[in-house]
Amino acid sequence: MKRRDFLKTSLAASALLGASKSLAGTTHQPIDGREVSKMAFPEKKPLITYSDRPPLLESPRSTFVHEFTPNDEFFVRWHLPEIPKHNDLDKYVIEIDGLVERPIKITIGELKKNFEQVEVNAVLQCGGNSRSAFDPIAGGIQWGSGAMGCAKWKGVRLKDVLDYAGLKKNAHWIEFNGKDKAAYYKTPNFVREIELHELDDNVIIAYEMNGEDLPYLNGFPVRLVMPGYYSDNWVKMLSHITVSDKYKSLFFMDVAYRVPDNKTESETPTKRAKKTKPITHMNVKSVIGYPTNGEKVYYNSHVVVRGVAFDSGYGIKKVEISLDGGKTWEEANLKADNGRYSYRGFYYPFKPTKYGKIKLMARATNNLGETQPFAHEIGWNHGGYKYNGIDEVTIEVI
């Protein structure tokens, strides 16, 4: 799609969303104040771009007015630059071996035919999402809040497939590998491991996203979906599952996607935690999709703040909005519940009665009572993971 067409559709979308009173939205170039690649990526609209190779693409904030993220606006993250395209699906197999009674090679067609097809609505969020909000700067891609998305995933239960292969008694770790490769043989493959007890009926091998084949950059033809978990485990272009009794020390398990093990121990740029653990479950979070930073709205007009909230599966109890920098809060309306792992949409209508800049803040609370902290209350960690500070957007009333 040409940039001009993209602008047209995004303008049409903001008009549909009742944002017609706002004056902004005429150009978003760059998006959210950040660079957009001149290069076109297959099946994607122009997105905030951190790298072309491997592609690192972030969704614009405006995406988060949708409870399901459109596939062509869905963020993209790969660790390795060689990402093969698989046009001949009959030749694509997933291999399952290790501690199983029957090692198997299975095609996508066989997956669909031989196992019950299930659907789960779930949020996929990079552990480093919102990393740029950490102060001091934490290492890694300086994502805004667009390294996340929510989709309807369709596939088959991983458990059913493993049962078919027949887990041996001492099976404990399951290792996942995808088809992507490093440019140099010394770089390790992106391999992840989970423990058998982390596996429930919601963990699926998915081949559909929002009713379509997975986009190439989101892992066509199949990826792992682990609802409630950060997406480092959601291995794309899944090609190999190995069951074992031992944890293997692998680069992407031991080095990346870990946080301090001890809650009271916080890291500083010069002091690293001695013991770390994988990031696993997502904490409660909300992101405002409309208005976006710098948006201009008319004095006394009807403005509707919109966004999404989620956690690791306990469900969202409430979302509150503050218009005065966090002194007072009012509850937003929650939209329909699309499932415990899905985004919960929220909206909050108000009429601005003061000219000039105002800061909008959103704070979600889940059914456990866990809530989003203020930015200054967040413990710093070296990798810049799990940021869930209260979201804020500054707009101007004219």
Ligand X SMILES: Nc1nc2c(c(=O)[nH]1)N[C@H]1C(S)=C(S)[C@@H](COP(=O)(O)O)O[C@H]1N2
Quick check: helix, strand or coil at residue 345?
strand
Identify which of residues 75 and 347 has a Cβ nearer to ligand X in the complex.
75
User: Which helix (DSSP H) or strand (DSSP E) does residue 86 occupy?
Assistant: none
Min CB(153)–Mo ion separation in Å: 17
198 versus 265: smaller Cβ distance to ligand X: 198
User: What minimum distance in Å lies between the beta carbon of 238 and ligand X?
Assistant: 7
Residue 218 contact among Mo ion, ligand X, none, beta carbon within 5 to 8 Å by kind? ligand X
Quick one: which of 78, 15, 12 has its CA closest to 41? Answer: 78
274: number of Cβ within 10 Å:
9
Can you tell me the distance from the alpha carbon of 355 to that of 42, in angstroms, rounded to the nearest whole number?
Answer: 43
Q: How far apart are CA 393 and CA 65, in angstroms?
A: 14
Task: Pick one of ligand X, Mo ion, none as the site partner of residue 180 (Cβ within 5 to 8 A by kind).
Answer: ligand X
316 touching Mo ion, by CB under 5 A: no
**Site for Mo ion (CB under 5 A): which residue of 76, 126, 133, 362?**
126
Site track 48-87 with Mo ion (rule: CB under 5 A), x = hit: -----------------------------x----------
Our CB check for ligand X shows the closer of 164 and 252 to be 252
In the complex, least distance from residue 199 CB atom to Mo ion, rounded to whole angstroms:
20
Site string for Mo ion, 231-250 (x = CB under 5 A): -x------------------
Residue closer to ligand X, measured from CB, 237 or 284 = 237
Say which entry of ligand X, Mo ion, none residue 358 contacts (CB below 5 to 8 A, set by partner kind): none
Binds 220: which of Mo ion, ligand X, none (CB < 5-8 Å by kind): none
Residue 237: name its binding partner from Mo ion, ligand X, none (Cβ under 5 to 8 Å by kind): ligand X
Single out the residue of 301, 19, 54, 367 nearest to residue 182, CA to CA. 54
Q: Which residue is nearest to ligand X (CB)?
A: 178
Q: How far is the CB of 141 from ligand X (least distance, A)?
A: 10
Nearest distance from C-beta of residue 236 to Mo ion, angstroms: 11
**By the 8 A CB rule, do 367 and 316 touch?**
yes
Look at residue 65 and give the partner it binds from Mo ion, ligand X, none, a contact being a CB closer than 5 to 8 Å depending on partner kind.
none
DSSP 8-54: HHHHHHHHHTT-TT----S--SSBTTB-B-SSPPTT----EEEEETT
Tell me how far, at minimum, the Cβ of 256 lies from Mo ion, in Å. Answer: 8
Half-sphere exposure of 208 (CA within 13 A, CB side): 15
Ordered DSSP codes for 244-299:
ESS----HHHHTSSEEESSTT---BTTB--SSEEE--BPPPEEEEEES-TT-EE-T
Phi/psi at 119 (5° precision): -130, 140
d(CA 171, CA 295): 54
Chain positions contacting ligand X, by CB under 6 A: 74-80, 124, 126, 178, 180, 190, 218-219, 231-232, 234-237
Q: Residue 240, Cβ neighbours under 10 Å: how many?
A: 19
Minimum separation from the CB atom of position 332 to ligand X (A): 27
Does residue 259 interact with Mo ion by CB under 5 A? no
Q: Which residue has the tokens 């105002």?
A: 358
Q: Does 138 bind Mo ion (CB under 5 A)?
A: no
Report how far residue 198's alpha carbon sits from residue 69's, in angstroms, rounded to the nearest whole number: 26
Measured from the CB of residue 292, what is the shortest distance to Mo ion in angstroms?
Answer: 23
Binding of Mo ion by 279 (CB under 5 A): no
385 touches which of ligand X, Mo ion, none (CB within 5 to 8 A by kind)? none
User: Any idea which residue has 């413990």 for tokens?
Assistant: 379
By Cβ distance, which residue is nearest to Mo ion? Answer: 126
- Report the interface residues with Mo ion, using CB under 5 A: 77, 126, 232
